[in-house]
Amino acid sequence: MTQLAPAPTETIRSATSLPPGPKWPGPVQTVWYTFAQPSFFAASRARYGLTWTMRLPNFPPAVVTRDRDAIRRLFTGDPLVRRHGNDLFRSAFGERSVLLLEPAEHLDRRRMELPPFHGQAVRSYSERIRQLITTELETWPPGRVVATHPPARAVTLEIILELVLGVRDPELQAELAAIFDSFNTPLSKLALFLPTTLGRRAWWNPISKPAYARVDRMRGLLSAHIARTRTDPLLGKRDDVLAMLVRARDQDGHGLSDIDLRDELVTLVAAGHETTATAMAWACDLLAHHPAVVTRLRETLAAGEREYLKATVKELLRVRTIVYVAATRQMLEPFPIGDWILGPDVLILVDAQGVHADPELYPEPQAFRPERFLAAPSDSYAYIPFGGGAHRCLGAALATLELELFIEALVDHVELAPARPLARPVRRGVTLAPSTHGLVGIARAPQRAVASSQNRTVGTALGSETTKP
């Protein structure tokens, strides 16, 4: 067991007394959280400070914090004295998803799954990702206004299916896309709060029942693909993630079961394409409104320099935090945050959105300034788009690579112009997506290395028709 820090002051209260939070009844908080999460969190931060309590029906009390000392201890402490707080996703992702495994088994599974998502394995995907992105961008019609979020979702799903499942199947892609889209409606979001037992199915519920049927259909599709993969005579030569997971063995020589693989694929495919696609749509919106950033990207890339590109991706994920809660934990030992000690009956939510908007860390936090990240922040817990610690996102390196290649191709192939004012973040599932669906004007781009005088606004020349490739 880890050694707890001494009580910070004599004012610490008992574990049964929680930080203050909104006084609205649970159902009202649920509706506000479901349909207007950004304003709910912003109002609560403004009134209650770094740490506050949210209460939703059928859930334990949820303590939301952007206290960086608490975040550091959550991410760096003994992983065996804390469990995930992801039970909400049990009915969707399955009991055997790495997100739902308890501490010891989680660590063992993570060791098996990490190799395909690190180092040379990720870099080897670069050329194919670039090809898929370029092919998509070449279909964006010049002189039109394009809602970029839908095509971004299509291309990231295609990337995930090819690199993770090892398959090019338009019919499978279309069916999975329809399933995922159905989960991101307001009604589907609300359905998550309705089962009587956390994370369990409630077939009596007319709102939840259709969602469960779609989950079963998705699991059936993936199970059939796993069976085909196991019997593939070329399995040993395949380099997709599924093939590597089928071949993987733990230290005792045991492999993953079909259910292990199925639940993992649901997690990888569902989480791995929607978040990256949302970031791509935000990239389009922000770059359309910041031509000076585009100019600098072109000039530095033409000179063979990629540091500004990397800084642009980091700033994108800060100023438009895609997943507003970076981590959810339940501690197995009493856990102090400020003047409070939280027990194991409490969920702790790490408020990434709040951390990234802290003006003490990021002056004028709403401004889009990639140069912030040309020198790394002094506090390593000030930037947490992928979470941290033992549960840090497995796909962080792959997502970062996709975003770098997308922005590089974007500034090389098209000139962007604002179609509307900067979008506001709206909740889409567990992500914050642009309210305009990433609506931008499109024109063919000049060569990468251009003089600033050549960067022109094309908005006046654009037609009014909106297309969704």
CATH at residue 137: 1.10.630.10
**Residue 467 parent element (H or E):** strand 466-467
Spatial distance between the Cα atoms of 394 and 84, rounded to a whole number of angstroms: 15
Spatial distance between the Cα atoms of 412 and 445, rounded to a whole number of angstroms: 6
Structural domain containing residue 136: 113-321+378-467
According to the model, what pLDDT value does residue 261 have? 92
Is position 36 within any domain?
A: no
**CB contact at 8 A, 216 and 239:** no
The three-point CA angle 428-433-437 to 5° equals 105
Is position 364 within any domain?
A: no
According to the model, what pLDDT value does residue 4 have? 35
More confident site: 449 or 87: 87
Spatial distance between the Cα atoms of 90 and 92, rounded to a whole number of angstroms: 5
- Confidence band for 205, pLDDT divided at 50, 70 and 90: low
Q: pTM value? A: 0.86
Is position 25 within any domain?
A: no
Q: Which residues are paired to 467 by β-bridges?
A: 146
Is position 463 within any domain?
A: yes
- Confidence band for 400, pLDDT divided at 50, 70 and 90: very high
Contacts of 457 (CB under 8 A, 6+ apart): 291, 417
Provide the number of structural domains found in the chain. Answer: 1
Least confident piece of the model among 186-200, 288-302, 337-351, 415-429: 186-200
Using alpha carbons, list the distances in angstroms from residue 26 to 1, 29, 170, 354.
Answer: 35, 5, 43, 22
Is position 283 within any domain?
A: yes
CB burial of residue 365 (10 Å; 0-12, 13-18, 19+): middle
What is the mean predicted confidence (pLDDT) over 279-307?
97
What is the mean predicted confidence (pLDDT) over 261-280?
89
Is residue 6 predicted with pLDDT exceeding 90? Answer: no
- Confidence band for 10, pLDDT divided at 50, 70 and 90: very low
**CB contact at 8 A, 328 and 86:** yes
Predicted confidence (pLDDT) per residue in 444-465, tens digit: 765 544 433 333 333 333 333 3
8-state DSSP, 122: H
Is residue 14 predicted with pLDDT exceeding 50? Answer: no
Q: Give start and end residues of each alpha helix (H) in 50-143.
A: 68-76, 90-93, 103-113, 119-123, 126-137
Is residue 467 predicted with pLDDT exceeding 50? Answer: no
Least confident piece of the model among 43-52, 78-87, 289-298: 78-87
According to the model, what pLDDT value does residue 170 have? 85
According to the model, what pLDDT value does residue 167 have? 87
How much of the chain exceeds pLDDT 70, in percent?
Answer: 84
Instruction: Tokens 């980091």: give the residue.
Output: 314
- Confidence band for 45, pLDDT divided at 50, 70 and 90: very high
Predicted confidence (pLDDT) per residue in 321-359, tens digit: 999 999 888 888 899 998 899 988 899 999 999 999 999
More confident site: 257 or 212: 257
Is residue 174 predicted with pLDDT exceeding 90? Answer: no
According to the model, what pLDDT value does residue 39 have? 94
CB burial of residue 96 (10 Å; 0-12, 13-18, 19+): buried
More confident site: 207 or 243: 243
Is residue 393 predicted with pLDDT exceeding 50? Answer: yes
According to the model, what pLDDT value does residue 187 have? 63
Is position 192 within any domain?
A: yes
Encoding tokens for residue 202?
């409630």
Is position 430 within any domain?
A: yes
According to the model, what pLDDT value does residue 457 have? 35
Mean pLDDT, all residues of the chain:
84
What is the mean predicted confidence (pLDDT) over 2-6?
35
Is residue 67 predicted with pLDDT exceeding 90? Answer: yes
Is position 37 within any domain?
A: no
Predicted confidence (pLDDT) per residue in 138-155, tens digit: 999 889 999 999 999 999
CB burial of residue 104 (10 Å; 0-12, 13-18, 19+): exposed
Is residue 9 predicted with pLDDT exceeding 50? Answer: no
- Note the residue count of the chain: 469
Is residue 8 predicted with pLDDT exceeding 60? Answer: no
What is the mean predicted confidence (pLDDT) over 168-196?
72
Using alpha carbons, list the distances in angstroms from residue 63 to 10, 321, 348, 426.
Answer: 21, 19, 5, 22
Determine how many CB atoms are found less than 10 A away from the CB of residue 128: 12
According to the model, what pLDDT value does residue 2 have? 33
What is the mean predicted confidence (pLDDT) over 101-129?
84
Contacts of 244 (CB under 8 A, 6+ apart): 115, 116, 121
Predicted confidence (pLDDT) per residue in 208-234, tens digit: 677 778 888 888 999 999 999 999 999
- Confidence band for 383, pLDDT divided at 50, 70 and 90: very high
